[in-house]
Structure formats: structure tokens, C-alpha cells
Amino acid sequence: MSTRTGLLVLASALVLSPSLPAQKPDIQEGIQQLLEATRAQKAHNYNQAIQRYRDFLTKFPDGKEADTARHGLGVCLLEGPRDYVAAADQLQHLVGKKQLPEYPSALHSLGLARRGMAVRVAKAGDVFTAGAVTLEVLHPPAEGVPGNENARSLVLAVRHAGHTILLTGDLEGEGMRRVLALEPVQCHVLMCPHHGSRAADPPGLSQWSRPKVVISCQGAPRGRGGTVDAYAARGAQFLSTWDEGAVTVRSHVSGLVVETFRTGQRIVVRR
């Protein structure tokens, strides 16, 4: 075969041979990597989670769940090896994407990363101090509790100058039952759990904590009574942000004062 004939045959083969499609990453494999990363993160196995998130982002850098993976990776880098630079690099991608469910958490974590602040998991029994303020963690325990995330809400007893403020998050269900089984903590001010929800056992919590003032950060109440009556029956003054606007609590060695923005109330809480 002459050189010219050989070139013609080769050219014909190139024309007639169908082009092979570009190989796409396996989407199912990517989903599995993301699920494994999430499970590892929840189990505080940060090194494994970091590797899985990175594997996912290598294959799907522009995928639908890429921002979720970047958020998870940034948080794991922050909470695990405390690689602040790498964490900030991942979280920076999410700035301005306010539609993301992870957006508030991403901004918070980015701020911590930029300041080089360590993050630790708080559990029941831990005590933190900041000057004259003491924060005792009452819940959740290290092993967690069954139920939804509300059941694992962080519950803090904040103490200063002989005053106690009880912060309860969205506590309900099994978490509430566990807290009410603890030694009672009498407080001056109680942050009403779960935005004043009746599902948060107002009668039980009122009896357990015996607050003097109850503050509920909430929208328009769904009917009167229930939560308000449960605390009022124990002599507590109930203040909702829907009615009162912002509520400010000031603790001083001379006493504790609660002020409302909208209605202009000033309540002096006696020991």
C-alpha cells in the first residue's frame, strides 16, 4: 500500500468512526459521597467527612449540591483540624448566596475562621466563664437524645451577680423530659422555649424553673391562654416580643432590670 493510499484509509476511518461521548461522573456515586460526608460529620469523624466532601467537589464543582458540600467542608475544617485558612476559602464561596438554607451558619463559621477562633462541642456538665459571667450547660448530653433537632437544643444557665437566666432554645419532646428530670434550676428570667409553643410543656417547665419573668421571642400568638396562663399561674410576668418589641435584660450587682422597647416597661426583678 502506498503512503498516499494509507493516509486516505486513515482519513476515512476517522470520518466514519463515531466520536466517543465524554465520560460524565457517576451522579449516584456523588450522592453517596455526600451522604457519607454528612454522616461522618454528624459523628464528629471530621477527617473522613473532609475527604468525602473533597471527593464530591472534585467531581461536581458546579453541581446542584456543591454549595452544601462547601459549607460542610468548611465547618469540618474549622471544627476538626482547625485549618482556618482552608475553612475560610471554602466558606467564602457562599457569601451573598442568601437563598441557601446554610447561609446564616456559613457567615457565622466564616467569621470564626477569619478570626482564628476554635470551635468546640458543648455538652451537659460543661461550664464556661467570661469575666464575672458563668455559663453552665444543662443539655444536651454528649451522647445526644432521640428525636428531632429541637430535642437536642442547647440549654444554658447563665449566672451573673447572683442572678440566673435560663436559655432553652427550641427545647421540646424527649429533650424537655430529660431537662425536667434534672435538679430544678430556679431562675429570674426564662427564655421561653420554641417561641412560646404549647408543645414545650409550659406547666412543667414553669414548675421546674419558677421564673419571675418569661420572655418569648415569637410572632403573632395563635390564640390566647395556654402558655401565658401556665407561667402566670406561678406568678411569672410573661413578655412576648410580638407585643413588647425588643426586650433587654441587664444584670448588675445592684439588681436585674428588664426593659421593653415598644411598650416602655421597666421591670426590676428582685432576688
pLDDT in tens, 35-90: 999 999 999 999 999 999 999 999 999 988 999 999 999 999 999 999 999 999 99
Does residue 49 lie in a domain region? Answer: yes
Tell me, yes or no, whether 153 and 221 share the same domain. Answer: yes
Task: Tell me: do 170 and 211 sit in the same domain.
Answer: yes
Place of cell 416580643: 241
Q: Residue range 112-122: average pLDDT?
A: 86
- Whether 6 has a pLDDT exceeding 60, the answer reads no
Predicted pLDDT at 225: 66
Residues 243 and 46: their CA atoms lie apart, in Å, by 44
- As a whole number, mean pLDDT of residues 20-28 equals 61
CA distance 72 to 52: 10
Amino acid (one-letter) located at 24: K
Question: Is 9 a member of any domain?
Answer: no
pLDDT recorded at residue 93: 95
Q: For the chain, what is the mean pLDDT?
A: 89
Please indicate, yes or no, whether residues 145 and 251 belong to a single structural domain of this protein. Answer: yes
217 and 132 within one domain: yes
**Residue 265 belongs to a domain:** yes
Instruction: Tell me the residue range of the domain where 50 lies.
Output: 27-115
CATH of residue 249's domain is: 3.60.15.10
C-alpha cell of 92? 467564602
Amino acid residing at 176: M
At position 244, the amino acid (one-letter code) is E
**pLDDT for 30:** 86
| Portion of the chain with pLDDT greater than 70, in percent | 89
SS3 147: coil
The grid coordinates of residue 266 equal 421597666
Task: Say if residue 89 is in the same domain as residue 166.
Answer: no
Exposed/middle/buried for residue 76 (C-beta within 10 Å: 0-12, 13-18, 19+): buried
pLDDT of residue 224: 63
Whether 105 and 148 share a structural domain: no
**What is the CATH number for 50?**
1.25.40.10
Same domain, 212 and 104: no
Please indicate, yes or no, whether residues 45 and 137 belong to a single structural domain of this protein.
no
10: confidence class by pLDDT, cuts 50, 70, 90? very low
Q: Order of strands across the sheet with 255-260?
A: 247-252, 255-260, 266-269
| Residue 137: Cβ-neighbour burial (10 angstroms; 0-12, 13-18, 19+) | middle
11 has pLDDT over 70: no
Rounded to two decimals, the pTM is 0.65
pLDDT in tens, 179-207: 999 999 999 999 999 999 988 999 999 99
Q: Does 4 reside within a domain? A: no
62 and 107 in a common domain: yes
Give residue-wise pLDDT tens across range 156-180. Answer: 999 999 999 999 999 999 999 999 9
Confidence band, pLDDT 50/70/90 cuts, at residue 121: confident
Q: Which of 129, 135, 119, 169 is nearest to 149 (CA)?
A: 169
Domain count across the chain: 2
Q: Are residues 131 and 111 in the same domain?
A: no
145 shares a domain with 234: yes
Task: Report, as an integer, the average pLDDT of 138-147.
Answer: 94
